[in-house]
Structure formats: C-alpha cells, structure tokens
Structure 1
C-alpha cells in the first residue's frame, strides 16, 4: 500500500531513512514506534510496504525523500552506494539547508569526501558508525558514535538517541567516527583471533569448546573494565604499575607459545605478542603497567 504521489509531495516528516536493508528497516521501525513521522526511499520499493502500512511515507526518488525532512539517515552498504544515490537527479538541490547523517561503512577519507560534498551543496553532514546488529538497535547500551559539526549533532541527537542509547559525539573532525570504528574493530578482531586460538587449544586437548565459550562470556565484563583502565593509562601517559605489571605477561604469553608449539598448532598469534613483549623487556619496561607495551608499537 503506497501513498499517492500527491500525498508524498505535500508531506513533511520528522526524518527520512534512505536504505531499507536489515539495519535501515530497524531504524525506521524504531523511529515509527517512537511516534516520529518517517519518509522512506529504497531502490526496491516493496521493502517499504509494511512500514507504509504503519504510517510511513514512501518517496518516489532520493531527492523527494531528502526534501521531505530536515534530517536524512542514509543506511546503505558503503559510501560507493551512498554516493550513487546522492548523485541522482534533484538531490543536489533538495539537500540544501538539510542534514545528512551517513551510517554506512567506510574509511576516514570517505567521510571527508562526503562532508565536502554536503558542504558544497549547502547541507550539514554527520558521519556515523553503528557497532551493533539490527536486532540490538534501540537499547540503552546500543553503541553509535558520530562525528561532525556540533550544531549538526545537536539537530540529529534526539533522533539518534531513539535508535541507539549509547550515543557518542566524537567532535567536529568528521573522520573521527571512521577512525574510532577502525580502532574498536581492531580490538574486536584481535580479541576474536585470541578466542579462536584458545578454541583450538581446547579442541585439540579434549576440552569442551562450548564450555570454553561460556567461560569467555563470563569473564568478558571484568576484562572490559581492565581494558578501560589500560586505555586510561595510555591516555594519561603514566605507566607506573597499578593493575598488571608487564613482567607478569612475559612468561604467561611464552607459556601459550610453548604449549602451542608442543601441540603442533598454529603459533602466529602468540608468537606475535611474545615478540612484542620481548622487545618491551629489552627496553626495560617490565616494571611498568602492561599498557606500556604500546611503546613498542609506537614509531
């Protein structure tokens, strides 16, 4: 059930959502549930049917969709897809005086290029990164961080808090969200690599891997607090031992490496960390907090 063209053209809504993949659908659903009026556009218009039945307005084009609201959330696969949409007829005129919030995935350079395009056409721009699955949206702890001009964030904040309770503005530098996304994903993939190495140790030694997974889940909050402390140490630059002296980790990682060698399994990950710790020891850092290991990574 689509709205008529006349109704679409005469409707002004609170927010526009462009892109109705699983995440875009989740965003639109939450905004409607919160009582916001929503305009939608998607390359495959049929995806909007259920939302239109609940009161959303389906636009015929990206230009029409952007013109319908003061704020547009773009949630498509990547910046290439977003740029293709924003290059369509009429968008450059429709976007003037409006705010575009891009929640796709891209690089810091992508973010800078998108902001330059928006500003050149008289629009405000925010770059964002969602680090949650569609089913996790709308919770108090759902993480969403954005970067760009403070005035733009002030405009978007009430809408963004509907879809993600843990909303963080990283400042005016538009590439900050993309850099933070890379930083946090480095943690995620690094931790996952460690998880898989541990799972491999478990399976080749007869330990139940499912039990191992449950144990990792149980200890995750305490290690999250530990990582938060280590981040504070790095930020503050005071590496005096407070929680975990680096010297404790030197033999611990060596045991992982030696045991992995003895089991005949892959040793790349423990070998990498063991090498970092060896360099730290050679530099006399064993008496400092474990966070001092970052000194080995710095140029």
Structure 2
C-alpha cells in the first residue's frame, strides 16, 4: 500500500499529499483546477489527467473536498466507480454521521472498501505531532491504510466499525472548539473594556489549557458514570458566575448575548433541582430539550 491518490487539492488536500510524499509514498493527485497541483508535482507527485486515472493509479484513494456531495460529483461516473472497486476509499471531507453512513452504503454497493475520517487540525499542522485524524468504518480497510494515515497525523485513532463515529466526534470537538472561541472573544471584549492587553489574555489561556482539559475530562467521566454528587464547584455556583458576567457586560456596555444565553441554561439547571450537583449535570437540561 505504498501508492495513494489524493482527490482535492485545497489547503488541506495539498498538505495531506505533501505529508504522504515526505512519508515516502508514491502520490498521485487530481484537482479540478490542475494549476494547484504544480507545487506538488515539483515535489514528486504525479498529476492524473482525470479522476478515473487518479483512481486507477493507487490502491488507496483519499478524498478531501468541500463536502460529500462534491465527492459524489467527482466519483459518480461509471469509469471511476469501476476503477474504485476492490480499493480503499478514505473520505476526509467534513460531514455528519448521516453523511458517513450514506457514504458507506454508496461504497458498499459498488464493492469499495470505505473509511470515514475527520481531521482535527488546520492545514499547517498536518504531519506534525499536534495533528490528529479520527477514522471509522471497515477494519480491513483501516489495517491496509494505517501506515499512510499515520504519515499524515501525529495521532491516528481508529474508532471501530460504526462508520459515523469519526464525524460524530468531529462535530462534538467543533462544538467545544467554537463555543470556547466565542467565550474567548467575549473575554477579549472584557479586557478591551478595562484597557487590558488581549494578547496577554491569550497567553494566559494557552497556559491554562492543561487545567481546562482536566475539567473537561472530569465532566466527561461524570456524565458517563451519571455521578454528579459532591462537586468542588456546584452548578449553582456556575450560574451565579454567569449572572455576574451578564451584569458586567451590561455595565461595560459590551455585547451580552453569550453570557446571557449560558446563564439562562445554568438557571434552568438550578430551577430543575440540580443546583447542588456538579456543573456537568447541565447535560440533564440539554437531554430534556432534545
């Protein structure tokens, strides 16, 4: 499995191909705009004249395009699906668990071994220790492609045969990431309102990352075990802290949408009788609202 084709050469696709080249793989690339392939060709990649030619060149085909519909548009023709039969297709475009299940069904109907993956990194992190790739789907396909996956990321985690697993964890990660980023941006507005340097705040948060990670881990353990008793800080204390953030935002005349929204969730938790429990007990409110 030293031959691999990469379909899609956006920023991420280019870096995936580049990492494979560094790993000693024979890489064939295809992109709708062939000019994007020129730097990779200069680094040793082969440029396919068509999607079908790219698929024919390798035993493993990686797709990293805008979304799953773009994948189907690229791979739907009979000559491409015929060439894919018996090969491993790794889907690294962003999608939902339903998209992954539909992709697996589509592949199975055409005799294609299928893996669905999610990249937890930005392009310039690919191939570096801080990057991670999650994959789920057929185990034989994972075993065949394990080495090339590991050349693209510092950590590769196989989640088993439940094909929607990688995309589900990707969306869960993005939920945490983007909610946290908005919280950071609100914190930046607090700093600006008080004349403090936002870059110092950013450095402070980077230093606090291990402690925050510990809080997240404890929250995950509590939710998994259903044990919210004897917390070091209760849900009610968190609710009071969020009320303070709302009050400060209004006094400073900065946007209060984020703290008001989060305070409302915590207050619902207190009203439902979970105030003395751990903050992770807020999951009960989120479950009730499904």
TM tier relative to shorter chain? over 0.9
17, 36, 57: which one aligns with 1:28: 17
Structure 1: gaps of 5 or more residues: 1-11
Distance 1:199 1:54 in 2: 42
Number of equivalent positions: 288
Per-residue deviation, 1:110: 2.0
Of 90-99 and 268-277, more deviation after overlay is shown by: 268-277
What's the counterpart of residue 153 of structure 1?
Answer: 142
**SS of alignment partner, residue 283 of structure 1:** helix
What's the counterpart of residue 127 of structure 1?
Answer: 116
Could you report, residue by residue, the CA deviation over 1:200-244 in whole angstroms, capped at 9, with x for unpaired residues?
Answer: 121122222222222222212210221122111111211123443
Identify if the C-alpha distance between structure 1 residues 167 and 13 changes in structure 2 by more than 3 Å, giving closer, same or farther: closer
Of 47-56 and 111-120, more deviation after overlay is shown by: 47-56
What's the counterpart of residue 284 of structure 2?
Answer: 295
What's the counterpart of residue 40 of structure 1?
Answer: 29
187, 196, 206: which one aligns with 1:207: 196
What's the counterpart of residue 125 of structure 2?
Answer: 136
Map of 1:1-299 to 2, 5 A cutoff? 14-299=3-288
Identify if the C-alpha distance between structure 1 residues 243 and 162 changes in structure 2 by more than 3 Å, giving closer, same or farther: farther
| 8 Å Cα contact 1:62-1:88 kept in structure 2 | no
Q: TM-score, normalised by structure 1?
A: 0.90
Distance 2:117 2:165 in 1: 9
**SS of alignment partner, residue 130 of structure 1:** strand
Distance 1:57 1:274 in 2: 55
Per-residue deviation, 1:133: 1.2
**SS of alignment partner, residue 72 of structure 1:** strand
**SS of alignment partner, residue 17 of structure 1:** strand
Could you report, residue by residue, the CA deviation over 1:168-201 in whole angstroms, capped at 9, with x for unpaired residues?
Answer: 1222122222221211111111111111111112
Structure 2: gaps of 5 or more residues: none
* CA RMSD, Structure 1 to Structure 2 (Å): 1.8
| 8 Å Cα contact 1:15-1:69 kept in structure 2 | yes
Distance 1:285 1:38 in 2: 55
